[in-house]
Chain A
Amino acid sequence: MTMSYGPLLFLGILLTLASSWVGLVLMPHRQLGSLTQHTDTNTAAIFPAARAGEAQQGAEHYRSLGCVYCHTQQVRPEGYGSDLERGWGRRRTVSRDYIHDRTVMLGTMRTGPDLTNIGERQSDAAWHYRHLYNPQITSPGSIMPPHAFLFETRAIGPSGRSTNALVLEGAFAPPAGTEVVPTRRAEQLVAYLRSLKSSGDLPEAPVKKEEAK
């Protein structure tokens, strides 16, 4: 019986996997592995913009802290889900949007909202610091864990409160005489979050012109 013939079995086993290895690994690599930035012929704007060093460092914290397990970074097309209606982007995201990411973190879970354009939707660094310190401050009812370990609570120095100290009120305020300041990690992470913008006009994903509503 043929199914008792070892070599044929081996060959079949190897060829079947080889098919999708070529189709879903090598082919995409050929098609998408060398995408480059796009320069707009009218405005000379370049998309997607490269990320500054500070934000690049922040991306490593985003990875290390596992933000991807609750937040996606992909906007689905119009008419498919409510991503655009929720204001998570002005257009769908496409392959080219991710060419600068060292680790592409599309995500598969929306326990929290999508962050593709969080830098555009919420550009206020102070908001991000307070949100990270304790999400209940800015988003009551959120189940995002507090990231107080990204901050330092220290005594207020002789020259008064530091300029970068968080504005915390009521139940969230630190003990009297102390202040909460972001660590380097928090600064880099927030720089990364503020850099998240994927709404440049691309030929394969134009931004709809009547978008301002």
Chain B
Amino acid sequence: MSHQSQTPRSQTLRALLPGDVGAGSGGDVQTGGVQKAALAEIDASCRVPVLFFFLSGLGWLIAGSLLAIVASIKLHSPGFLGAWEWLGFANVRTAHLNTVIYGFASQVSVGVSLWLMCRLCRIPLPAPGLVTVANLFYNLGVTVGVVGILRGDSTAIEWLEMPRYATPILFVSYALIAVWTIVTFRLRAERHLYVSQWYLLAAVLWFPWLYGTAQVMLLLEPVRGVVQAAVNWWFAHNVLGLWFTPIGLASIYYFIPKVIGRPIHSYYLSVLGFWSLALFYNWNGMHHLVGGPLPAWMITISIVASVMMLIPVITVAINHHFTMLGHFGKMRQSPTLRFIVFGAVSYTLASLQGVASALRSVSEVTHFTHHTIAHAHLGMYAFFTMVMFGAMYYILPRITQREWPSNGLISLHFWGVALGIVLYVVPMSLMGFLQGTKLNDPTIRFLDVVQFTLPWLKLRTVAGLLLVVGHVAFVGNVAWLLVRMFEPYRKPVVRILTGEAETLAAGK
């Protein structure tokens, strides 16, 4: 491919392509006296820590999926597993949220962002052993936290349910990872910064601040009255907007140009998209409290900021989708692209749905209903998780130097989760809207509204089972890939990754 050549690119093109595009097997490009590392060397340095983050993340994904199924069944069949207090609906639902958010999504995010940061800075990960230790510590924290929730020690503060004997462990690990990402950034050999790096840096700086504030003001020295609700939603909404979203967008910005071998649509839109997200997203949280017992100015300011989110969302949508224009055919060959583009489109949809439901007139109906649950899964799953799956399809063969063993399992994974999440989000969004309309009509008995939701909740369990099928297929493929690490390397016969800009053998 043309961009694989070693000729220096023009300044304009440099801004539009990830810094490791065009890097071949040699590690000899000199910039300001710092040697840029070969890609294979970078991948090798990331192997152990990134594998630890991915594998433990996937372990939590399976656990979290099973908890989700139990919670979903319990909501339409309340007697299911009813004898065990620790498996009560609230415990299982909360354990589900915390395993998939802190166990799965955050860990895979860290794995992806460490690898991306090293690739874009063109240096091997410094002291990978330290990162591996942070991972072990992190998993200890999640385990203690989830067991605590199942024991009934949940704080009942949404997105911050892990008891306070678990959260400091997580905070220390997060801080360690953040510091290490910044150290990697400071040591960079590639002086040019690509848009993905802005988002990654922002995410690692923002998250410890959010998490630290929430811990102090809600768990250690709880603030008084409804200030708790304000801090709670400032934190919880920003976990999505300032931690997962930047890492998801960084990945989309990296993998689309990388796989299709084409620069991003517009540099200026990427700058506008980044700073408008930084300015507006962090003011959004109070739209979770529309109609609630807080001063109107707080809620109004969040609604305004939510509407302003149209700027970064539309900017990023133009930038991503226009880059893809004319290249959708490549999704057939590249599993990475298939998942990433699914995620990129979902990001646009989730954001627009989010803007709409922040409006007072819409929130009056959708607030307190399953519409919000559907929206959360559109954002966290159809957008973020799909992007992370796409990233792992790219990274895992490179850090293990092995090709994906089964094409069939990749298809099963994609179609299982793609159909599953559509079957989840579309009916649940609609049902939530109808549920809200009925709740707002005082002539309809409350229990009749409950009965109305039952068939839809059963459909949700079916959708959840499809997601589980996809997850099992993926984990099976990953396990098979790991088994192959112990076999001697041979040139793969089936080339699933045909069409991706960089071949596995690039670094040898």
Contacts and interface: CB of A to CB of B under 8 A. Distances in A.
Interface of A: 1, 3-4, 6, 9-10, 12-14, 16-17, 19-21, 23-25, 28-29, 31-35, 62-70, 72, 74, 76-77, 80-82, 85-86, 92-99, 101-111, 113, 135, 139-146, 148-149
B294 A28 contact: yes
Interface residues of B, number: 84
A9 B27 CA distance: 28
B74 A145 contact: yes
B193 interface: yes
B69 interface: no
Given A13-B278, A66-B93, A4 B223 contact: no
B293 A97 contact: yes
Contacts of A142: 78, 447, 450
| 9 cross-chain pairs, A with B, having the tightest CB-CB distances, nearest first | A66-B90, A85-B442, A110-B368, A76-B291, A20-B282, A16-B278, A63-B156, A82-B442, A64-B152
A10 B205 contact: yes
Contact of B153 (A64, A104, A106): A64
Contacts of A67: 90
Given A32-B295, A98-B225, A141 B368 contact: no
Find the residue from B286, B368, B440 having the highest chain A CB count within 10 A.
B368
A33 B451 contact: no
B224 A99 contact: yes
Contacts of B153: 64
A25 B225 contact: no
B293 A94 contact: yes
Contacts of B367: 81, 108
A139 B78 CA distance: 13
Interface stretch (B44-52, B228-236, B341-349, B413-421): B228-236
Q: Is the interface of B mostly helix, strand, loop or mixed?
A: helix
A126 B271 CA distance: 63
A105 B156 contact: yes
A20 B283 contact: yes
Nearest to B79: A146
Contacts of A107: 368
18 contacts: A1-B192, A4-B193, A13-B201, A13-B202, A23-B301, A24-B283, A33-B223, A33-B224, A35-B224, A35-B225, A63-B156, A82-B441, A82-B442, A93-B292, A103-B156, A143-B75, A145-B89, A149-B85
Given A25-B213, A106-B293, A146 B224 contact: no
B78 A9 contact: no
Given A69-B93, A82-B440, A86-B442, A106 B292 contact: yes
Given A66-B156, A95-B293, A108-B288, A28 B94 contact: no
Nearest to A87: B442
Nearest to A86: B442
B275 interface: yes
Given A1-B15, A12-B278, A23-B283, A98 B226 contact: yes
A9 B217 contact: no
B198 interface: yes
Given A13-B278, A25-B231, A95-B293, A108 B372 contact: yes
Contact of B198 (A9, A93, A145): A9
A70 B446 CA distance: 13
A149 B82 CA distance: 9
B447 A141 contact: yes
